[in-house]
Structure 1
Amino acid sequence: MRINLSSVFVDDQDKALRFYTEVLGFVKKTEVPLGEHRWLTVVSPEDPDGTELVLEPDSHPTVKPYKEALAADGIPVTSFAVDDVHAEFDRLRKLGVRFTQEPLELGPVTTAVLDDTCGNLIQIAQYA
């Protein structure tokens, strides 16, 4: 068994696609129209056949309160691995990304938390 898909709920799929590709550096893998929304996925360019991240519309009525509660409590919805948190933090900050947590060393892992502009906090993590 392996993870094939994971999702983040986004308030605007076009805005999310721009942020996740142009800022974070993922690449679009799948885009299929489904009424007013799309089945829209991105992948790491380092692993194009790996786990896909679904940019899922947050239109279900239970999703927005869930997202708001997590963000208010500072809880990231997911974590992305990076080779160097400090370098990625600097690169993203120069692109205007807002961080809610600067790089923090926590034993064998260094993390930082960013705002994805779509209602989510995302952790980036470097493992020793």
Structure 2
Amino acid sequence: MRIQMASVFVDDQAKAQQFYTEVLGFTTKHDIPLGDDRWLTVVSPENPDGTELLLEPSGHPAVKPFTEALVADGIPFTQFTVDDVAAEYDRMLALGVRFTQSPTEMGPVTTAVFDDTCGNLIQLVSPV
């Protein structure tokens, strides 16, 4: 068994695609129109056949209170691994990304948390 796909709810798929590709550096894998929405996935360019991230439309009534509660409590919805959190933090800050937690050592890892501009907090993590 392995994970093929994970998802994040996004309030605007076009804005999410731009942020996740142009700022975070992911590559669009699938972009299939489905009525008003799209089946829109991105992947790491380092592993194009690896786990896909679905940029899932947040239209279901349960999504808004769920994601708002997570953001209000400062809880990241998902996590991405990077080689160096501090370097990625500096790179993303220069691109205008808003962080809610600067790089912080937490035992064996360093973490930082940013706002993906689409309704989520996302955590970056790297080994110390």
Q: How would you bin the TM-score normalised by the shorter chain?
A: over 0.9
Inter-partner Cα distance in structure 1 for 2:63 and 2:81: 25
1:98 aligns with 2:98: yes
Q: Which amino acid aligns with 1:94?
A: A
Summarize deviations over 1:56-113 as a string: whole Å, max 9, x none.
Answer: 0000000000000000000000000000000000000000000000000001000000
1:30 aligns with 2:13: no
RMSD (Å), alpha carbons:
0.5
Partner of 2:81: 81
- Once the two structures are superposed, the pairs formed by residues 8-23 of structure 1 within 5 Å of their partners are 8-23=8-23
Q: Which amino acid aligns with 1:25?
A: G
Inter-partner Cα distance in structure 2 for 1:34 and 1:116: 23
Divergent runs of 4+, >3 A: none
Partner of 2:47: 47
Q: Which amino acid aligns with 1:78?
A: T
SS of the residue aligned with 2:45?
coil
Deviation at 1:43, TM superposition (A): 0.2
Inter-partner Cα distance in structure 1 for 2:40 and 2:54: 6
1:5 aligns with 2:27: no
Partner of 1:61: 61
Inter-partner Cα distance in structure 2 for 1:107 and 1:123: 16
Inter-partner Cα distance in structure 2 for 1:31 and 1:25: 16
Deviation at 1:127, TM superposition (A): 1.9
Inter-partner Cα distance in structure 2 for 1:66 and 1:8: 12
Summarize deviations over 1:7-66 as a string: whole Å, max 9, x none.
Answer: 000000000000000000000000111000000000000000000000000000000000
Inter-partner Cα distance in structure 2 for 1:38 and 1:127: 35
Inter-partner Cα distance in structure 2 for 1:109 and 1:78: 16
Aligned pair count reads: 128
The unaligned stretches of length 5 or more in structure 2 are: none
SS of the residue aligned with 1:125?
strand
The unaligned stretches of length 5 or more in structure 1 are: none
Inter-partner Cα distance in structure 1 for 2:106 and 2:123: 13
